[in-house]
Structures are given as C-alpha cells and as structure tokens.
Amino acid sequence: MTRGSPESLLCVSFGQRPEATIVFRAMSSLVVPPPLATLRNRPFSFYPAILNIEHNKWQYRKATWSDVLVVNSRTGQEIWIPRRFLGEISRIEDPMVIVGLLRELEYKQGAVWPYQRRVIEMPMAVGAALPPVPVRRERRAPVVGIRLEPKSESHLFRIIGGALVLGIVVAYVLVNFYRESIGGASNRRPPHSEATWRTHGR
C-alpha cells in the first residue's frame, strides 16, 4: 500500500496476475471552512463578548472540523472557539462585523467555557437578627359576637320581672274574688226585705 498527498492509494493484488490489481483511492478528510473564513483578515467582535478578556476585537486564523482559532487584534492572544457555539454573522459592518455566539462564554484556564451564573448568598453580619420565618396562617371560622350583660343588671332585671308577674297574678286573683263575693251577696237577700218591699208596694 502506498500513501500520497492529498489522497491515499491502496493497492490490492490477487495472485501473480497484475491485471487483477485493484486500486482504491481514499480522499483525505476535508475541513469545511466556517463562515468566519469569509472575513479573511477583517476584524470582528463577538456578541456577547467573551468574559475575562478585555478587548473584543478578533481576526480569523484557521479552523478544524470542531474548533475555530481566532486571535485578538490588540493583544495577539489566540483562543479556540468550539464551532457549536458560533452563530450568525451580521451583514452590517458599522463600525465592525459582529459574530454571534449561541452561548455566553468565559475565558479561564487557557480555554473558553460556557458561563454559568451563580447566585452568591451574602453572609450575615455578626450579631444580626435572623430574618423572620413566614408563618402559615390557617383560616379559621368567623367568630360571631355575643353581647353579654353585666351580672348585676341581669339580676336586677330578674327581680323586677318577677315582681311584675307576681303583681299581675295577685291582681287577677283579687278581681275574681271580688266578683264572686258580689255575685253571692245579690243571690242571698234577707226575707224581711222582701216583705218590706211588698208592704210598701201596697
């Protein structure tokens, strides 16, 4: 088997017959240029800007099948950007071409990584009071107000009411007794009175 550039040759022979030789041509893997390659030496900026890098002015250098190498125009710093994070390129070049990033990236330890925002809890001051814990309030049944009279007034009202009832009963008994006594006296007239009436009638 013989190898060449840019393609590789693979020769396979069957027996001693040269006409039975089969030649396979394998093309080397080609790297598809990214859209940044169309910018050539024109500077561009990333949006959003890569964190932890002061100047956001870059130029395209080269690319592989998975990453793109860019160089900072001011500092000369080179970094590799994964292709999966590259977005579209703006058509307006005023004041500079903008290359979109699909994720917010940060530069650390010599490479770029997806930036993850973290919530930092502020430490409590020494001697500070603990925040109040919200208490879950249960809904209770409505309370109906009942008016309670004082004990002395209620006792007085009972005495007066009892006296009134007793007076009414006594008056009723006396009236009945008086009526019965008058009715009985009229029915029992003395005999001399009738004789006297007859005598005077003559």
Q: pLDDT tens-digit profile of 131-176?
A: 777 767 666 766 766 665 556 677 788 888 888 888 898 888 888 8
Instruction: Report helix, strand or coil for 195.
Output: helix
Please indicate, yes or no, whether residues 55 and 72 belong to a single structural domain of this protein. Answer: yes
H or E stretch including 56? none
Q: Percent of the chain scored above 90 by pLDDT?
A: 32
**Does some domain include residue 161?**
yes
Query: Across the chain, what does the average pLDDT equal?
Result: 76
**Does some domain include residue 68?**
yes
Please indicate, yes or no, whether residues 101 and 46 belong to a single structural domain of this protein. Answer: yes
Q: How many domains does the chain have?
A: 3
Cβ neighbours around 60 below 10 Å, total: 22
**Structural contact between residues 61 and 78, judged by C-beta atoms closer than 8 angstroms:** yes
pLDDT digit string, tens, across residues 33-47: 778 888 878 899 999
Question: How does residue 182 score in pLDDT terms, banded at 50, 70 and 90?
Answer: confident
Please indicate, yes or no, whether residues 2 and 59 belong to a single structural domain of this protein. Answer: no
**Does some domain include residue 47?**
yes
Domain that holds residue 44: 35-114
pLDDT for res 114: 93
**Structural contact between residues 31 and 22, judged by C-beta atoms closer than 8 angstroms:** no
| pTM, to two decimals | 0.46
**Does some domain include residue 183?**
yes
Residues 6+ apart with CB under 8 A from 35: 86, 88, 89
Model confidence at 196: pLDDT above 90:
no
Please indicate, yes or no, whether residues 2 and 47 belong to a single structural domain of this protein. Answer: no
For 151-166, b/e burial (b = at least 16 CB within 10 A) is eeeeeeeeeeeeeeee
Long-range contacts, 126-129 (Cβ 8 Å, 24+): none
Between 51 and 25, the more confident residue is 51
**Does some domain include residue 87?**
yes
Please indicate, yes or no, whether residues 18 and 40 belong to a single structural domain of this protein. Answer: no
**Does some domain include residue 100?**
yes
